[in-house]
Amino acid sequence: MVTVVKREQKIIRILRIRVVDKPGYLGKIATRIGELEANIGDVSIAGQGQDYLIREVSVSLKDEAHLQRIVDALSNLDGVTVEAVIDPVEQAHRGGKIGMKSRAPLDSITEMRKIYTPGVAQICKLIHKDLSQSRNFTCIGNSVAVVTNGTAILGLGNIGPVAGMPVMEGKSVLYEQLVGISAIPILIDSLSVEEIVNTVKGISPTFGAIHLEDIAAPECFEIEKRLSDELSIPVLHDDQHATAAVVLGALITVSQRSGFNLQDCRVGILGLGAAGAGIAQLLRDFGVKEILGADLREDACERLKQQGGTPTDLTGVMQSSDIVIATTGVPGLIKPEMVQNGQVILAISNPDPEIDPEVAIANGAKFAADGRTINNALAFPGLFKGALLAEAKEFTSDMKIAAAQAIAGQTRLDDLVPSILDKTVHEHVATAVSLAYTQRKN
């Protein structure tokens, strides 16, 4: 049995403390922090003087009020002064998380003549004769545009593209670190489907693929479809399809360990926006015969019907489903008493799930997980790397299913899915995706 415990939300702060350099003072600080129910992380020396040390102490806290109690208590200790409180998240983002860097050396006139004028003209003429050579002699074949209009950023909603930039930068970091792709955020300040489509089409020659990110439903569906139809490079809305691939990968693992046939299970989906719709479609493509769904929006329920699913309500999903997948963004929507014995529950809204996995398990669920486990970052790097390797023109259902199967195949021990930071996982996903496209094309 796999129990995934949702951890209580915490804030992390680094306290820069000036303390007398004598035995016992660090112990007093640690004791006081522990008495006030905060957890200590890293402790380091940031500076020193003749009779004092500057220590930086990382602490995990409940909230800002808890932080203030810690600061006040430490300030009342003899020989201790809290000089600064540092937010490590702000510190990590300051100045941005990404930047354009050259791969070519520029340490001599000879090198400059090779990479710029006059040598570059040779490559321009070569590509002019055969545009496919751009994949060999430019970064296009390994570049992805991460495009957003900021209308569905995380669980924050429509906060605009500029406020969403940290998410796009984060995606770019994952691409570079996990699969070696150069990903560039593209912010489009518009709610117009036509303007977004035309903008992406206009910049598309720069990239080998288009990653649509945090664009609200229902506009995201039309934008993805039009771009997929009108461009000759692969386009994928991450919130729909990468999330779906990870969900399917987790369910394949659950089915293998439990001995049931996933295709014969009745699957209920709570929330039929981008993620819910993508999950429903991929499960249908995988062969799941019966899918129920609930959403307050009539257009979302109508989409499910068009996909071959059956609209119902919250009670209908919870009472009739073997597997429940929740993407509503409504914390606590699933009450403990709604859980049926033996159900699989994936409450994947972030940052707060519809039910805590540990609560679901305690009330009879066989498997349970939240969005910290079922994270689309397990799928999108390998999906795009595989598409670029295959020089794909589109993303197909076969490619998404191949990604899910690769994720399940790399899951070890009692985990539901593998570690996001395991680069081997992303390599396997990329290989499987590339092979799925190549085999279909042939």
Q: Which two tokens stand for residue 55?
A: 């220590």
Q: Specify the pLDDT at position 8.
A: 54
**Residue 93 one-letter amino acid:** H
- For residue 335, give the DSSP letter: -
Listed in sequence order, the residues at least 6 apart from 423 whose beta carbon sits closer than 8 Å to its beta carbon are 178, 179
CB 319 within 8 A of CB 346: no
Q: Maximum CA pair distance of the chain? A: 77
86 and 122 share one domain: no
Catalytic position from the list 6, 25, 52, 171: 171
Residue closest to 169 by CA, chosen among 152, 186, 150: 186
194 and 75 share one domain: no
**3 is a domain residue:** no
In Å, what is the CA distance from 143 to each residue of 159, 166, 175, 198, 207?
Answer: 27, 19, 10, 19, 5
**258 is a domain residue:** yes
185 and 129 share one domain: no
Asked if 171 is an active-site residue, the reply is: yes
Q: Which two tokens stand for residue 157?
A: 């909603």
Q: Specify the pLDDT at position 4.
A: 41
109 and 86 share one domain: no
Domain CATH number, residue 49: 3.30.70.260
146 and 213 share one domain: yes
Last residue of a domain, one of 233, 259, 285: 233
**351 is a domain residue:** yes
Cα separation, 383 vs 434, in Å, equals: 8
Residue closest to 296 by CA, chosen among 322, 283, 314: 314
Residue closest to 389 by CA, chosen among 399, 397, 375, 401: 399
Q: What are phi and psi of 279, to 5 degrees?
A: -65, -45
306 and 186 share one domain: no
**2 is a domain residue:** no
Domain CATH number, residue 225: 3.40.50.10380
DSSP string, 241-272: HHHHHHHHHHHHHHHHHHT--GGGSEEEEE--
Q: Which two tokens stand for residue 278?
A: 């993508």
354 and 426 share one domain: yes
Domain CATH number, residue 366: 3.40.50.720
In Å, what is the CA distance from 260 to each residue of 42, 293, 329, 417?
Answer: 45, 21, 29, 18
Q: Specify the pLDDT at position 2.
A: 40
377 and 417 share one domain: yes
308 and 442 share one domain: yes
196 and 244 share one domain: no
Q: Which two tokens stand for residue 293?
A: 């769904």
Asked if 175 is an active-site residue, the reply is: no
Q: What is the extent of the structural domain holding 111? A: 99-138
- For residue 347, give the DSSP letter: E
**166 is a domain residue:** yes
Cα separation, 193 vs 222, in Å, equals: 7
Catalytic position from the list 116, 225, 335, 441: 116
DSSP string, 264-292: GSEEEEE--SHHHHHHHHHHHHHT--EEE
Residue closest to 227 by CA, chosen among 191, 256, 258, 201: 201
**Residue 322 one-letter amino acid:** D
368 and 229 share one domain: no
Q: Which two tokens stand for residue 334?
A: 């699933």
**341 is a domain residue:** yes
- For residue 116, give the DSSP letter: S
Q: Which helix (H) or strand (E) holds 209?
A: strand 209-212
**4 is a domain residue:** no
How many domains does the chain divide into? 4
Last residue of a domain, one of 187, 202, 233: 233
CB 324 within 8 A of CB 345: yes
Strands 209-212 and 80-86: unpaired
Residues recorded for the chain = 442
Evaluate the omega torsion of the peptide bond into residue 351 and state whether it is cis, within 30 degrees of 0: yes
Q: Which two tokens stand for residue 263?
A: 């295709």
Q: Which two tokens stand for residue 340?
A: 């049926």
305 and 398 share one domain: yes
Which parts of the chain register pLDDT below 70? 1-9, 441-442
Last residue of a domain, one of 180, 203, 233: 233
* Cβ-count burial 76-89 (b if 16+ within 10 Å, e if not): ebeebebeeeeeee
- For residue 153, give the DSSP letter: B
Cα separation, 371 vs 375, in Å, equals: 6
Cα separation, 194 vs 149, in Å, equals: 13
**183 is a domain residue:** yes
